[in-house]
Amino acid sequence: MISRTVHKNLSAAWREQEEVLTAASDHTLMEAVARGQTLAFEQLSFRHLRTMLGVAHRILGNAAEAEEVVQEGFLRLWRQAPQWDPDGTGSVKTWLSRVITNLCLDRCRRRRDVPLEEAGEVQDTARDAFDDLGLQDRQKLVQSLLSGLPERQRVAVVLAYFEEMSGKEIAEAMELSAGAVESLLVRARRTLRDRAETMGIVWGENI
Amino acid sequence: MRWIGRKLTLDRVLQGWLRQQAAPVPDDAVAGAHDRLMQAVLHTPQEPALVPMPRPRRPRFLFPEPGLVPAAALSVAMLVFGVWLGPMEETALSQGGQVYAAAQVANETTGVVDQKVDQKIAVLAMASPWGDWIDEGD
């Protein structure tokens, strides 16, 4: 009887703590993480993990490598949490984006000698080729289009178009000016359009 | 304006298309990555918080450099000595409306006055602060 009451109370306390963590802002969670609270880190990582995995995957084009990079980024957040400066560092998402995109760019530079992809696999010069592709092929095609971009343009496109980050956030994440980010996006759009046309996709018609 | 409108339209088309076609991150991949991350966190120590370094304690001086005080005192002493000595020498060597250089009065190397050369200079030299010393030397 006593143990059941204790268990009930513990469960209630646990639920209450979980609700508090769920409702807490990123900054509040970071303060708790800085004190070494793993539950707060669990909540924080749960919030941003999917986004960061998506970013890394789209930049690197490889799920396993993306997970390695994201894990390194989150572990860095955990290690450096006691030194977190809420006024100077900016938002957690921007910090993570900056660290993870930099780690991705490092990986890209290391493997620059080896071509990331051979986009020719899904090329088809027929005008209606895109419509005939299945979902997985389309996804491969998008990934190959992205992989064909220079690294920094790819990062800008991923953050702007997939993660819908603002120009200011992207500039902070990439440590560039807003103008430089816009310039990267303009060049990336042009490259994407040219590459898409070589694959038989024309903006405004197929898309 | 038309160019901007077209650019924005293209931008939205591209964004929508990319988002639509891009493969989403599967739930099981997120869950697996989360589990592995939390396992790794349990074995990763946190770095200590940065503590601001205390400023090195230095003895407090009136002047920024401790050597400045004796140097300044010495300078002042030399100035006072010079002010006191200067007029005495001037008075002694400019009697009679004629000014004589110190080199004319006394031989700098020996301090001995050549009385045979100029008797008047020798008299003036005796009146100078070196008078007694010259007298002894003579």
Confidence of residue B54 (pLDDT cuts 50, 70, 90): confident
Residue with more model confidence, A116 or A163: A163
Tell if the CB–CB gap between B33 and A58 is shorter than 8 Å. no
Does pLDDT of A67 surpass 90?
yes
Tens-place pLDDT, residues A126-171: 444 555 566 677 777 778 888 888 888 999 988 888 888 888 889 9
Amino acid at B109: T
Distance from CA of B58 to the nearest CA of A (A): 29
Please give the mean pLDDT across all residues of chain A.
Answer: 80
Confidence of residue B134 (pLDDT cuts 50, 70, 90): low
A residues 79-98 closer than 8 Å to B (CB): 79-83
Instruction: Tell me the HSE value of A103 on the side-chain side, using a 13 A CA sphere.
Output: 23
Tell if the CB–CB gap between B46 and A58 is shorter than 8 Å. no
Domains annotated for chain A, with CATH where assigned, are 1-114 (1.10.1740.10), 120-207 (1.10.10.10)
Does pLDDT of B11 surpass 60?
yes
Distance from CA of A197 to the nearest CA of B (A): 13
A63-80 vs B27-42: helix axis angle to the nearest 10? 40
Distance between CA atoms of A207 and B17, rounded to whole angstroms?
7
**Tokens matching residue A61:** 């084009």
Confidence of residue B46 (pLDDT cuts 50, 70, 90): confident
pLDDT value for A8: 72
Please give the model's pTM, rounded to 2 decimal places: 0.60
Residues in chain B closer than 8 A to A67 (CB atoms)? 29, 33, 36
Does pLDDT of A205 surpass 60?
no
Does pLDDT of B138 surpass 90?
no
Show me where the domains of chain B are located.
Answer: 87-137
8 Å CB contact between A75 and B44: yes
